Each structure stands twice: as C-alpha cells, then as structure tokens.
Amino acid sequence: MASIYLQTFGCQMNAADSNGIAHQAWSMGCTFTTNPEQADIIILNTCAIREKAESRAYGRIGQFKALKEKNPAAKLLVCGCLAQKDRALMRERAPFIDALLGPREYGKLKETLTAWGVATDAPPPDALFRAPAAEEDPGQGGFDEYAHLRALVNITRGCEKFCTYCIVPYTRGPLESIPPEEIEAQIKMEVRRGAREITLLGQNVNSYYHPASKLDFSGLLLRVGAIQGLTRLTFLTSHPKDFGPDVVDALSRLPNVCPRLHLPMQCGSNPVLRAMARLYTIEEYLEKIEHFRARLPGWALTTDIIVGYPTETEADFLRTLDVVQRGTFESAYIFSFSPRAGTPAATMMPQVDPKEKIRRLQAVNAAQNEATRRFHESFVGETVSVLVQGPSKKDATRLAGKTGHNTTVVWPRDGRTDGMPLVDVTVERAFNWGLAGQAA
C-alpha cells in the first residue's frame, strides 16, 4: 500500500484539483502522510499565477531533490499550472522529477501510479475518504479534522477571456463546462462525506454553459441549490462582463446560498480596464452592482483590485481610490501589479515605478480597511451562524470559523462547541480582520 505526501500551492481551483488527485489515489488503496520522508510518492500541485507561488514551488522541488537522493525509490510527481507552463524547463532543471501532469492531464494519474507499482486495490467499503490538508505544507498542520465541512467543486476548466495580466488561459487551456450531472454527483458525494458548504469554482463561473442540456450558470445554481442536505452554497469567481440579472434572480430564490458575491473590479479607470482587456467599463460595473444591491440587500460584495498596472496614471489611480472610498465593497483583495512572463502586460509600457506601486497599494488598503471595519461593526450585538474551521491559528484556546458573509469569527474554546460543524456566536467586538464573541 503506497503512502502519498501531497502539497498544494495557489488558488482554490488548485485545492479542488488536489482533492480530486487525493481521491483518485485513495480509490486505489493509497494512504496519506504529512511527512514527505515517509512517503513512497510525493505529489506537488503547483501554481503559476504569481511569482511568489512559483518561487516557493521551485524551492520545494529543490528540497525534494535531497529527499530523493536519500530514498531513490521515492517518486516525485509535479502537477498543476507551473508543470504545464515550464514543462521543458522543469525537465532540464530538475531531471529527478519522475512525472509531470498539467491541469488537463489528471485523467492520467491512475495510469502513472500503476506504472510505479501502485496496486489497484480499492479501500474497504466502510472506509471514509478524508483528503490531506490541501493548502501549503500539510506537515505544518497535519490533517484538518474540519476540512470535510467545506468542499470545492470545479464547474468549468480553462478560460476564454485572455485578460492581459493573466497566465491562466495559457496554462489551463480553453473554456470547458463540466456536465451538470457530474457536478451534481460530486456535490452529493461531498454532502454524504459531511460537507456543509460547497463552493462552485471556475475562472469565470458566469460563462458556464452546457450545450447538451442548454443549462447556463443561473440554471446550474437552481439545480444544485436544491440538493438535499446542502447547508451553504457559494461560488468563485464571477466576471463582470457575464454577470447578469438572471444570476441575481437565481440567487434571490435560493435559501441556502451564502449572502456574498465576489465580483472583481480590478480597476476604476476605463483606460486601464481597456489595457487589461476586461471587456467592461467602470460605469457598466457600477450599474450591475447597483442592481445586485437592490435585489439582495444585506449581502457582502467583495472584489479584486490591481494597482500600479502598466499605463496607470495618477488620475487613473485616483478613480480606483474614489470607488473604494465610497464604501463600495465590504472587503477587497488588493495587489500591486506583478508581471508574469508570457502575458501581454509583462512588456506593456510604461511600467509603474515600484515605489509608486507601494504608495498606491497602501492608500487603497487604508481606504478599504475603513469600509471593512464599518461592515464588521454592524454585527456587534448580533448572533451569527459560523461554520467551524478549527482552532484559531493565533490562539489555540479559541475556535475560528466563517459566517455566510465569509467573515472570520473567533470565540473561546470551552468544550461545548468542540466537534460541532455550525455554531451560533454572539458578536462582542469587531476588528478589520473579523469578529470576536461568545458561543450562544
């Protein structure tokens, strides 16, 4: 029986892919370990979106070289976007890698494991699948006893938008919508395993369309939202170009959908949006969220913002800052532009000075922190339902979890709520990072 060490870098789509990889290996009778030195097979699922994730992956590959020198029988499999993007380079720089699988090649996993001598013995019928921790180094936190409460389900593969800063269309390929019956079957399987929250994933979930069933994203939401036992449903990520009233209408009809929408704005300036090839204007974006707010009051709107994009002037930046200062978003993921080789933005001119990027990043962060703090303060005195994530990373005497708005909540660990998947917490204090209170 082969033992596997699995480590994941990157986005939630990678985490979902790792869960699928782990399940395929488990179905062949493999077990999992949090110690790579005890593994027969090491699997590294890589990311190429940002330089930092890429550098960490290459550093980890270098560490595995020393491990393989100690144990030549161990196999190293590198998967994911970096394995696709740097396939030739990786074979040259790291010839000790035994196999490479891109994001569209996971159907070859069982064939690869079989070639390495893994028997095809299925686990016992009463065995319950529990994936290893899918984020960063599983050796740091072991197996997450609460991980099964949240499941990630891919509904599309690839992307057709070709934003000028993004490497994904080149590493994950063209858009493909997964058949609805496959999506539904996976969700039902995750619910049987104990999942309370399902996140539907895609580079652009709104582009979902399955020709045979003529089902679009709003129809898919209504179909999977009716699955019995599904407590929470959410999705990532929406593209503003394809986000329409039909999706808002579907969301308004689903009692178990989480009251949050992630709709990346990226920039508040039309010239920069054109340079990004985002396919919408800021006026169109704001009109869509005005309709969203009117139909779904009380929801949290979150976004992605890039500052310091090539060609961005001070006037362009101030337009973005103005949108944020108006309190448009409950939360935002804000980044300074980082060029990725192979994308048009990497050679676009003029590039913004690195120090100026930092200044703009700090200004937008400060403005968003104010809006986020006000949003969190609105919950003080309220009792909120929290999906448990486990002990707080900063204080093991407290438990942590997420509300339906995706806000972090912590509360004292007194034994009453240990093992409970959902806990009602009365909020006593609000911070930029989240909420603190007492179990109700």
With 0-12 / 13-18 / 19 or more C-beta atoms within 10 angstroms meaning exposed / middle / buried, residue 135 is middle
CB 152 within 8 A of CB 22: no
CB 108 within 8 A of CB 101: yes
Residues 6+ apart with CB under 8 A from 282: 265, 267, 268, 269, 270, 273, 319, 323
The single-letter DSSP state of residue 318 is: H
Domain boundaries, the chain: 3-138, 141-377, 383-439
Decide which of 3.40.309.10, 1.10.645.10, 3.10.20.340, 3.40.50.12160 is the CATH code for 3-138.
Answer: 3.40.50.12160
State how beta strands 383-391 and 422-430 pair: antiparallel
Rounded Cα distance, 432 and 384, in Å: 17
Three-class DSSP category at 298: coil
Name the nearest CA neighbour of 8 among 75, 69, 83. 83
Q: Do 36 and 30 form a contact (C-beta atoms < 8 A)?
A: no
Task: Please report the pLDDT score of residue 52 as a whole number.
Answer: 81
| pLDDT of the chain, 440 residues: tens digit per residue | 789 999 998 888 888 898 889 888 988 888 888 889 999 999 999 988 877 888 889 999 999 999 999 999 999 999 999 999 999 999 998 999 999 999 989 989 999 999 998 977 666 555 566 656 555 555 544 446 677 899 999 999 999 899 999 988 988 899 999 999 999 999 999 999 899 999 999 999 999 999 999 999 999 999 999 999 999 999 999 999 999 999 999 999 999 999 999 999 999 999 999 999 999 999 999 999 999 999 999 999 999 999 999 999 999 999 999 999 999 999 999 999 988 888 999 999 999 999 999 999 999 999 999 999 999 999 999 999 999 999 998 898 999 999 999 999 999 998 888 889 999 999 999 999 999 999 99
Instruction: Give the Cα separation of 309 and 267 in Å (integer).
Output: 9
For 375, other C-beta atoms within 10 Å of its C-beta total 18
Name the fold adopted by 141-377: pyruvate-formate lyase- activating enzyme (3.80.30)
CA distances from 54 to 2, 135, 182, 202, 407 (A): 28, 15, 31, 21, 29
Hey, how many other C-beta atoms are within 10 angstroms of the C-beta on 81? 28
Say yes or no: domain 383-439 is CATH 2.40.50. Answer: yes
